[in-house]
A = this chain, B = another copy of it.
Amino acid sequence: MIDRRGIQRGETGDVAEDAAGSGAPRDASKRRNGARLLGLDGLHGHLGYFLRRAQVSIFQDFIRTLSEIDIRPAQYSVLLVIAANPGLSQSDVSDLLGIERARLVRLLHRIEKRGLVRRLASPIDRRSHSLKLTTAGRAMLKRAKALAAIHEGRLLARLGSANHKMLIDVLRGFSLSR
């Protein structure tokens, strides 16, 4: 019989220990590390897998935490970048955050309709927009930052501050390396 609990549950206790030395190498993997790691053998060497699971889980918490103001991670990053660099063009934002120009169009429509951002005419290039936060946008960003800090605090507590810092340092370096 196969244990059904996912690795994310992390339960212990009532798992029947399988007899050791069960035989063929293909089946030996089944219970090797206890129920938690069942079947993930081939995945354990893959950083991308764990990165993905962690990222999804963290974004879920972020979305939940900021749900009262209905700001999602991509929107938050766009607001932050515009606030820090008023006058940025859409292409600038796209390059900075790795968001496709095409996708940014609808994202900006949304937050512009909510009165958080304005697309002004660029004084130097009539093709491009000069992005600015509105007063409402700055106020919203302030609330968003407070909620994001709660989210990040929860994450920090869960990881420990040493791990938290190290992950940011290593992953930021990774991003910069290409």
Residues of A within 8 A of B (CB): 2, 4-10, 26, 29-30, 36, 38-59, 62, 73, 77, 80-81, 83-85, 87-89, 91-92, 95-98, 145, 148, 151-152, 155, 158-159, 163-164, 166-168, 170-172, 174-178
Chain B neighbourhood of A97, CB < 8 A: 6
Complex Cα–Cα for A163 and B174 (A): 10
Known: A47-B58, A47-B168, A50-B175. 19 other contacts (CB 8 A): A2-B87, A4-B89, A4-B92, A6-B95, A9-B178, A10-B177, A26-B84, A30-B84, A39-B84, A42-B80, A43-B81, A48-B73, A49-B77, A50-B171, A51-B51, A159-B170, A159-B174, A166-B166, A167-B170
25 contacts between A and B (CB under 8 A): A5-B95, A7-B175, A7-B176, A8-B178, A10-B177, A30-B84, A38-B96, A39-B96, A42-B145, A43-B80, A43-B81, A45-B168, A46-B148, A47-B167, A47-B171, A48-B55, A48-B59, A49-B77, A51-B55, A51-B167, A53-B171, A54-B174, A56-B98, A166-B170, A167-B171
Complex Cα–Cα for A9 and B176 (A): 7
Complex Cα–Cα for A152 and B4 (A): 29
Name A3's closest neighbour in chain B (CB-CB). B92
Chain B neighbourhood of A30, CB < 8 A: 84-85
Name A83's closest neighbour in chain B (CB-CB). B42
Complex Cα–Cα for A68 and B80 (A): 39
Chain B neighbourhood of A42, CB < 8 A: 80-81, 83-84, 145
Chain B neighbourhood of A87, CB < 8 A: 2
Task: Please tell me if the beta carbons of A6 and B85 are within 8 angstroms of each other in the complex.
Answer: no
